[in-house]
Amino acid sequence: MAAPFDLNDDTVVVVIGTGAGGGVLANELAQKGVSVVALEAGGRYLPEDYVNDEWESFGQLAWVDPRTTSGDWRVAKDFSGLPAWIVKAVGGTTVHWAGASIRFQPHEWKAKTSYGNVQGANLLDWPIDAEEMDPWYTLAETKLGVTRTGGRAGLPGNNNYLVFEKGAKALGYKEVHTGRMAINSGDYDERISCQQTGFCFQGCKWGAKWSAAYTDIPRGEATGNLEVRDHAHVARILHDDTGKVTGVEYFDKDGNLQLQKARVVCVAGNSFESPRLLLNSASSMFPDGLANSSGQVGRNYMRHTTGSVYAIFDKPVKMWRGTTMAGIIQDEARHDPSRGFVGGYELETLSLGLPFMAAFLDPGGWGREFTSALDGYENMAGMWIVGEDMPQETNRVTLNHDVKDKFGLPVANVHFDDHPNDVAMRNHAYKQGIAIYEAVGATRTFPTPPYPSTHNLGTNRMSENPRDGVVNRWGQTHDIANLFVSDGSQFTTGASENPTLTIVALAIRQADHIAREMSTGNL
């Protein structure tokens, strides 16, 4: 039967969420002839709809449904109701992402083995490794058109990059370039090359940056095997007496509760909504939530050790011009405990427009110290820190029964405390970032605290042993054979790299597995 599918059609795979995980999975399954219903909580926007205006775009795309926060992380103080800056729209956060697409380093797949016992950290090795992931990474890089892979050229460096590069080289850094980016450096896959417009975070109006919104989603729909229902907010996953999932209940665009039957359900709502959904699906058979016999659903929330360094120079930089994140230093991404922490971090160029700089440079700051910094906005350069943070069992997403969303469902509370390793790494990165800019003549530098999280990982972790995590090597839940997790929440550990490429590679691999298991009758 061709899309659209009937609510009672129990042969379909239901994919919840349409971002880097769900959007790619839905298309890959559709390409293989599998019938898919994708349920997306947000609306549908395309490049012509995106807005080159930070706050207006935020209002258009961001997930601003209520959430609560706790813990010692500064986000809980500065942005207590907004723990993450992620997207609620068809295509998910692939609309907003900056495009940095780098593979995990081999040792990062085996964090426990590589780093040993780190007190307070719930480290674990992934059940998969670099060798197994290599072909899937290649497929992902080809899909995304990642620069500096597959013979594709790098992007040219913008002003912000040129400052960053000069400082990096002055410090002796060797692995410095304009990044491996899912932003076209030449025409590729029916999309044009980057026009150096800036506003990568607001959705690429040229379509030069890969986003599931205008690649995988329409291609999947074109097969006739994929139906995407937008404004469909999933409330609960249902199961039968044998413990297999049978469908999902969701609120449609008119607020009416619908029930879509399913042969397989794949959860890809990002690392807050995915565990929230499993927990909100608790039943008499699964009183602690679905797939939670390990007690690990919602735990080990990771958000990368982040922060920014901005610097002011005595002459203009105009950092906002051009590709936002086409610049990387990888020398510090190595594991080298002599620096005082395990794991490593990347340094990547970053800029914010004036409105967001005012909100994020020093949240809550005011007075001359603050405004004199903004007075130097035109002469400012910026970089972002992306480092591996330690998984901790107590950093977790739980249900907050005191706060309900507009459908009356308990919202996610996000608790996060920095691990001492995270703090040591961040401080090291601040020091290096400041040194980079001082080497180019910075007159003032700003070690800027983390923004609301964009890299949300780990709350349904992958594990070899069902006791240690929620899903197996395929993203299939240990407890329920026809229930999968398909987003960054399946990450066992976070590594130091921006996660999207790995989420996409895992989704391509998972689609292959699900299609095979369906054809052999195992699913």
Q: How far is it, in rounded angstroms, from Cα 45 to Cα 319? A: 27
> Which residue, 199 or 481, is less far from other proteins as judged by CB?
199
Residue 435 binds other proteins (CB under 8 A): no
> Which residue, 198 or 449, is less far from other proteins as judged by CB?
198
Minimum distance of other proteins from residue 192's CB (angstroms): 11
> Which residue, 171 or 359, is less far from other proteins as judged by CB?
359
The residues pairing with 236 across neighbouring beta strands, listed in sequence order, are 249
Residue 466, exposed/middle/buried by CB under 10 A (0-12, 13-18, 19+)? middle
Residue 402 binds other proteins (CB under 8 A): no
> Which residue, 200 or 397, is less far from other proteins as judged by CB?
200
Minimum distance of other proteins from residue 149's CB (angstroms): 23
Residue 77 binds other proteins (CB under 8 A): no
The beta-carbon contacts of 254-261 under 8 Å, at least 24 apart in sequence, are 255/407, 258/7, 258/232, 259/7, 260/7, 260/12, 260/14, 260/37, 260/39, 261/7, 261/8, 261/9, 261/10, 261/12
Residue 187 binds other proteins (CB under 8 A): no
* Stretch in the footprint of other proteins (CB under 8 A) among 232-240, 279-287, 375-383, 494-502: 375-383
Quick check: helix, strand or coil at residue 140? helix
Contact 43, 75 (CB under 8 A): no
Determine which residue in the list 1, 6, 7, 52 makes contact with other proteins, applying CB under 8 A.
Answer: 52
Residue 99 binds other proteins (CB under 8 A): no
Q: Where are the alpha helices (DSSP H) in 281-398?
A: 354-360, 368-375
| Side chain identity, residue 157 | G
Quick check: helix, strand or coil at residue 76? helix
Minimum distance of other proteins from residue 204's CB (angstroms): 10
* Stretch in the footprint of other proteins (CB under 8 A) among 69-77, 112-120, 310-318, 507-515: 310-318
Q: How far is it, in rounded angstroms, from Cα 39 to Cα 4? A: 12
Determine which residue in the list 49, 171, 199, 249 makes contact with other proteins, applying CB under 8 A.
Answer: 199
Minimum distance of other proteins from residue 161's CB (angstroms): 8
Q: How far is it, in rounded angstroms, from Cα 331 to Cα 333? A: 6
> Which residue, 363 or 410, is less far from other proteins as judged by CB?
363
> Which residue, 237 or 328, is less far from other proteins as judged by CB?
328
Question: Residue 506: enclosing H or E segment and its boundaries?
Answer: helix 500-519
Residue 46 binds other proteins (CB under 8 A): no
Window 203-242: residues binding other proteins (CB under 8 A): 205-206
Minimum distance of other proteins from residue 62's CB (angstroms): 14
Q: How far is it, in rounded angstroms, from Cα 302 to Cα 437? A: 29
Contact 440, 449 (CB under 8 A): no
Determine which residue in the list 188, 214, 251, 377 makes contact with other proteins, applying CB under 8 A.
Answer: 377
Residue 194 binds other proteins (CB under 8 A): yes
The residues pairing with 176 across neighbouring beta strands, listed in sequence order, are 329
Contact 466, 478 (CB under 8 A): yes
Residue 439 binds other proteins (CB under 8 A): no
The beta strands (E) that lie in 149-304 are given as 176-177, 226-229, 233-239, 245-251, 257-261, 264-267
Minimum distance of other proteins from residue 354's CB (angstroms): 4
* Stretch in the footprint of other proteins (CB under 8 A) among 84-92, 268-276, 371-379, 423-431: 371-379
Q: How far is it, in rounded angstroms, from Cα 504 to Cα 23? A: 9
Tokens of 105: 């380093």
Phi and psi dihedrals of 411, rounded to 5?
A: -90, 170
Residue 68 binds other proteins (CB under 8 A): no
Determine which residue in the list 322, 469, 488, 499 makes contact with other proteins, applying CB under 8 A.
Answer: 322
Q: How far is it, in rounded angstroms, from Cα 482 to Cα 265? A: 6
Residue 440 binds other proteins (CB under 8 A): yes
Window 331-360: residues binding other proteins (CB under 8 A): 353-355, 357-359
* Stretch in the footprint of other proteins (CB under 8 A) among 19-27, 89-97, 196-204, 482-490: 196-204
Report the interface residues with other proteins, using CB under 8 A. Answer: 52-53, 55, 156-159, 161-163, 166, 194-199, 205-206, 315-318, 320-322, 353-355, 357-359, 364, 366-368, 370-371, 374-375, 377-378, 440
